[in-house]
Amino acid sequence: MRQSNLFTKTLKHVPKDEVAQSAVLLLRGGFVYKEMAGVYSFLPLGLRVLSKIENIIREEMDSLGGQEVVLSALQNKETWLPTNQWDDKNVDVWFKTALKNETELGLAFTHEAPLTKLMKEYISSYRDLPKYVYQFQTKFRNEIRARSGVIRMREFVMKDLYSFSKDLKEHESFYEKAKEAYYRVFERLGLGDNTFLTFANGGVFAPFSHEFQTVCEIGEDTIYLNEKAKLAINKEVFNDEVVENLGFKKKDFVEKKSVEVGNIFTLGTRFSDALGLVYADEKGVKQKVIMGSYGIGPARAMATVVELFADEKGIVWPETIAPFKVHLLALGDSERVREAAEKLYKDFKKAKIEILFDDRANAGNGEKLGDADLIGCPWRVVVSEKSLDNNTAEVKRRREAKAEQIALDNVVGICKT
């Protein structure tokens, strides 16, 4: 991508109501556009990052045997009445609307109920189970206060996977596999060292649910962390009984602020009971389907990465999700700088390395260097009159302070590692 053609601009100023560093940097870097509080559009740079996060998650969900679908966002009131979730007293985040014929509709805030209803058409026998279905779908939540930028939004994409199992043993086996897949996801996103399995309220069907909490000062959650054991307990269930049941003492934990980047729940038969999802076992006896729910917010993960790794100059992306691996800058407008930079650009493309080429004629050297730090690609390559005097380019990793002069013929190979 040539930066002169890139649909975005870096900004010097952002809305004054943005307090989260991630929101400020994503806006300034031209990754997102703020439509209103809690509602953001993803521009080309932001969409590239978001898509890479989604692809990592998709690969891990596929490895579990998950099959991808996309369910409707518009929801029938009748689907939600059996679960008592249509009532605003029970669910206070609905966006509700109506058709012109006055039929009430809602914009889905989650999809357990509609997927359970759908599965009644496809599950009738033990031979139909287990089933693992997931989606990346826009959710709508009418939050009273939307804050922390893209960490908490009113409109956002969620990866939600749902498991349908014959019995608790089959469910628990998959649940543990899903837990391991989540570990792999966060490791691949660069969050592995800061993200901890967290015990939370499990509701009526399990002693605990499990959250994946990333320690982060901007976080809205409070956890108690045992870093040695690499686990945490959510504040809502942190008491002597829970701590002792897990084999620890309260003094083993320290309080931390965190962002919930994922969660997994045993739903049991709550939705099967409400919507009549059953199957016939080997003897023809009707049995209830056991369900689980597994969620990750890709945009929230994206913002959490920014919060954790940004420095005073801008964003620092891990290579796995960076919009481009290399940011190539041509400093100065001489013909030999342009020619050398163009050759490098073609060499990177030939090597199939994702590259953003700052070829802008109307941007000064300082602006180009500042924008490169702000955008945060893992490698920066600078071609200038000074470097060409030595037949080199200046190569620097975004995470490192010192640049090196690398022979032009070796630049692509260095960045490929």
Residues 6 or more apart whose CB falls under 8 angstroms from that of 39 comprise: 146, 153, 154, 155
pLDDT in tens, 281-303: 999 999 999 999 999 999 999 99
Q: With H, G, I as helix, E, B as strand and everything else as coil, classify residue 264.
A: strand
Closest CA to 248 of 219, 274, 278, 227: 227
Own/partner long-range contacts of 335-343 (Cβ < 8 Å, ≥24 apart): 336/385, 336/388, 337/383, 337/384, 337/385, 337/388, 340/383, 340/388, 340/393, 340/408, 341/383, 343/408
Tell me what pLDDT residue 324 has: 98
Band (204; pLDDT cuts 50, 70, 90): confident
For residue 13, with 0-12 CB atoms within 10 Å meaning exposed, 13-18 middle and 19 or more buried, which class applies?
A: exposed
Bond prior to 378 in cis (omega within 30° of 0): no
The packing angle between helices 298-309 and 44-63, to 10°, is 110
Strands (E), 85-179: 95-98, 104-107, 131-140, 155-165
Tell me what pLDDT residue 206 has: 80
Tell me what pLDDT residue 57 has: 98
Closest CA to 190 of 255, 261, 138, 254: 261
CA distance readout (Å), 384 to 297, 335, 394, 398: 41, 11, 8, 19
Exposure on the CB side of residue 100, measured as CA atoms within 13 A: 0
Cα-Cα-Cα-Cα torsion 15, 18, 19, 25, nearest 10 degrees, comes to: -80
pLDDT in tens, 296-322: 999 999 999 999 999 999 999 999 999
List the domains of the chain with CATH numbers: 21-309 (3.30.930.10), 326-416 (3.40.50.800)
Angle at 192 between CA 189 and CA 196, to 5 degrees: 130
pLDDT in tens, 147-184: 789 999 999 999 999 999 999 999 999 999 999 999 99
- Token pair of 112, please? 């357990």
- Token pair of 50, please? 């978001």
Closest CA to 90 of 314, 270, 230, 305: 270
Q: What is the Cα–Cα distance from 291 to 378, expressed in whole angstroms?
A: 41
Can you tell me the mean pLDDT for 181-194?
Answer: 98
The length of the chain in residues reads 417
- Token pair of 157, please? 């994409």
pTM given for the model: 0.96
- Token pair of 349, please? 């493309």
pLDDT in tens, 103-162: 999 999 999 999 999 999 999 999 999 999 999 999 999 988 877 899 999 999 999 999
